[in-house]
């Protein structure tokens, strides 16, 4: 199996940590892996699962182990059918429920079926509700020798401090622009002819994704860039008083709640950076955000970020995306300077 750090070089440091811990016999029972959406946390977790379960790991430079890719364990993992690997992710409610954590706890104390240990991955540990998070604490407080738990957390999405304190924390960085582009070009080259996005669309997708390569691939092969452009056009018109809030909100609703919040959050973060003298990641929105930054204190940007987080937290209760878009648009509109009345 190819070393994950060769395909995704920005994963090299956290990958080497696991290789070293495994070689030294100091593998932690629980890992909390943090990083931005789309930087490869799940790919890293899959590679770690392969390494930890491989029956005949290969030794590379400095004696670091790599999964062989040939044994039965590696083949089962490659086919996503290994009975000693379980993945738990948010369901329709957008949260990881207590029933899922109870299943995980039962899996943790069971005997491995075909490997020497068991691996559980919680994809989006930041989406544990309070009951499921508390239920997970028992598993963390009473570790099982042949069980490893990997929790994946998106940056800026909190987990309970009691959970974090019981895990070894590893951070996945955002790759450089060059690394992200190189990875995206390689992935796109494997797509069917006719389904490969243009270089211009790839560059735009990388910009919108903040150089998170897996998210950029999703954007480049999906509808997000076009829907985002429509939403941004309505946003500018609304901010200038050219369209009503209801019309602008419909364009944001078309994105879906998560992508809508991602867009608003990115603009609010760019506004905060511009207020502090930095530059906007979304350079297409930079002119408008720069205008707002020149007329508002930085704390207004942080107020917007707080409102986005409130909406995201309320999203688990199936809020109305159009109403939430209207609420956030009105908050943005309040940043526009008011015209002086003629005396």
| CA dihedral (186, 192, 198, 204) positive or negative | negative
Please give the Cα distance from 226 to 115 (Å, whole number). Answer: 46
Give the model confidence (pLDDT) of 96-146 as tens digits: 999 999 999 999 999 999 999 999 999 999 999 889 999 999 899 988 999
- Residue 342: the pLDDT is 42
- Residue 170: the pLDDT is 94
- Residue 193: the pLDDT is 85
Question: By the 8 A CB rule, do 252 and 241 touch?
Answer: no
Q: Which residue ranges in the chain fall short of pLDDT 50?
A: 1, 340-343
Give the model confidence (pLDDT) of 288-322 as tens digits: 999 999 999 999 999 999 999 888 877 666 789 99
- Residue 341: the pLDDT is 36
| CA dihedral (311, 315, 320, 322) positive or negative | positive
- Residue 343: the pLDDT is 38
Helices (H), the chain: 4-7, 12-24, 41-53, 72-78, 98-109, 130-141, 161-164, 177-189, 199-208, 213-220, 224-239, 245-253, 257-275, 286-293, 298-314, 321-333
Please give the Cα distance from 303 to 164 (Å, whole number). Answer: 26
Half-sphere exposure of 46 (CA within 13 A, CB side): 17
Q: Choose among 324, 207, 341, 334: nearest CA to 266.
A: 207
147-154, strands of its sheet edge to edge: 85-88, 118-123, 147-154, 30-35, 168-171
- Residue 61: the pLDDT is 60
């Amino acid at each position: 199996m190819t070393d994950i750090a060769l395909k995704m070089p920005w994963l090299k440091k956290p990958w080497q940590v696991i290789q070293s811990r495994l070689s030294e016999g100091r593998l932690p029972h629980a890992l909390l892996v943090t990083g931005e959406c789309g930087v490869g946390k799940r790919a890293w977790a899959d590679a770690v699962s392969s390494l930890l379960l491989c029956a005949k790991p290969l030794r590379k430079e400095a004696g670091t182990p790599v999964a062989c890719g040939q044994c039965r364990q590696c083949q089962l993992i490659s086919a996503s059918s290994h009975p000693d690997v379980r993945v738990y992710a948010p369901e329709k409610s957008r949260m990881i429920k207590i029933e899922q954590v109870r299943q995980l706890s039962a899996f943790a104390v069971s005997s491995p079926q075909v490997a020497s240990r068991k691996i559980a991955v919680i994809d989006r540990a930041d989406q544990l509700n309070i009951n499921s998070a508390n239920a997970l604490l028992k598993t963390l407080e009473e570790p099982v020798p042949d069980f490893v738990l990997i929790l994946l957390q998106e940056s800026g999405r909190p987990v309970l401090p009691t959970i974090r304190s019981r895990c070894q924390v590893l951070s996945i960085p955002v790759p450089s622009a060059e690394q992200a582009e190189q990875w995206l070009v390689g992935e796109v080259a494997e797509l069917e002819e006719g389904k490969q996005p243009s270089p211009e669309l790839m560059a735009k997708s990388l910009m919108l994704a903040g150089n998170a390569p897996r998210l950029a691939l999703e954007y480049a092969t999906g509808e997000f860039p076009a829907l985002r452009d429509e939403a941004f056009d309505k946003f500018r018109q609304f901010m200038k008083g050219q369209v009503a809030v209801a019309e602008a909100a419909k364009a944001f609703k078309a994105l879906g709640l998560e992508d809508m919040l991602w867009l608003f959050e990115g603009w609010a973060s760019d506004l905060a950076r511009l207020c502090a003298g930095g530059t906007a990641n979304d350079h297409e929105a930079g002119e408008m955000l720069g205008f707002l930054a020149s007329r508002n204190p930085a704390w207004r940007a942080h107020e917007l970020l707080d409102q986005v987080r409130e909406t995201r937290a309320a999203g688990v209760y199936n809020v109305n995306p159009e109403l939430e878009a209207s609420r956030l648009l009105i908050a943005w509109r309040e940043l526009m300077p008011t015209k002086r009345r003629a005396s």
